[in-house]
Amino acid sequence: MTPALRTEGLGKAFTLHLQGGVRIPVLGGVDLTVHPGECVALWGPSGAGKSTLMRCLYGNYGAGSGRIILRHRGDELDLATATPQQVITARRETLGYVSQFLRVIPRVATRDIVAEPLVARGMPRQEAAARATTLLHRLNLPERLHSLPPATFSGGEQQRVNLARGFAPGYPVLLLDEPTASLDAANRAVVIGLIREAKAQGSAIIGIFHDAEVREAVADRLYDVLPHQDAA
Ligand SMILES: Nc1ncnc2c1ncn2[C@@H]1O[C@H](COP(=O)(O)OP(=O)(O)OP(=O)(O)O)[C@@H](O)[C@H]1O
């Protein structure tokens, strides 16, 4: 089976320009493969580079070396060398990312924040709003909050808005950074259900799951992110 996403020799180092150009190698030689319907959990000690790897995969950080091959529009797209326009298209159609924290857009209602990626993919606005509402209910976000901007929501409420937005489109590849960090047991169980359903529908998932119960419930295998001394 063709992988949904794979990296070849991915490396990343940070250069601290305000600290005399000190170079911090983080990732090196990362060969990660995830297939449709599979969930891979990134594993490794604090500071090993798990979040950095996620951000490289989504294109938030440029890769220092190597390739990030995404199966996109029936072809291969190397995100490490893709143009900004190609990255935007890949994010709209193929690659989703649920970060730990919601970046709130002022004055936009929660329902619209969740519906937006569906509308961007061409779904009629009313249908997108209905799907958003269903997901928000499933994640136990009370109806009275759906029409409010989430700026004043609690951490757990904001995380659930973020999750609804990330799961709504059914992306072929979905990146999850600590998706249950701020959630109670009932909502953790909902997220486990959403991940399992996404896998059953063929999504490839890469996640950081510090919660062992969630990790064991969804991950098919672990990928070791090792502290690296020699990164690009
Ligand atoms: N923007 C940045 N600039 C400089 N150094 C960074 C940057 N982002 C991360 N780092 C460094 O890269 C290393 C890896 O950080 P990262 O957050 O990826 O680790 P992690 O494995 O996700 O850790 P944790 O499990 O604690 O969240 C750390 O030493 C961190 O200080």
pLDDT, position 229: 58
**Is the CB of 163 within 6 Å of ligand 1?**
no
**Residue 19: pLDDT above 90?**
no
pLDDT, position 17: 85
Q: Which whole-number Å values give the CA distances from 117 to 32, 162, 178, in the listed order?
A: 27, 12, 21
- If you write DSSP's letter for every residue of 172-191 in order, what string do you get? SEEEEESTTTT--HHHHHHH
Over residues 146-175, mean pLDDT: 95
What ipTM was predicted for this assembly? Answer: 0.96
pLDDT, position 21: 83
Q: What is the pLDDT of residues 89-116, one digit of tens each?
A: 999 999 999 998 887 677 899 999 999 9
pLDDT, position 230: 53
Question: Atom 2 of ligand 1 has which residue's CA nearest to it?
Answer: 14
Of the candidate CATH numbers 3.40.718.10, 3.40.50.300, 3.30.230.10, 1.10.40.30, the domain formed by 5-224 belongs to: 3.40.50.300
Q: Which atom of ligand 1 is nearest to the CA of 225?
A: 21
pLDDT, position 14: 92
Domain ranges of the chain: 5-224
**Is the CB of 45 within 6 Å of ligand 1?**
no
**Residue 203: pLDDT above 70?**
yes
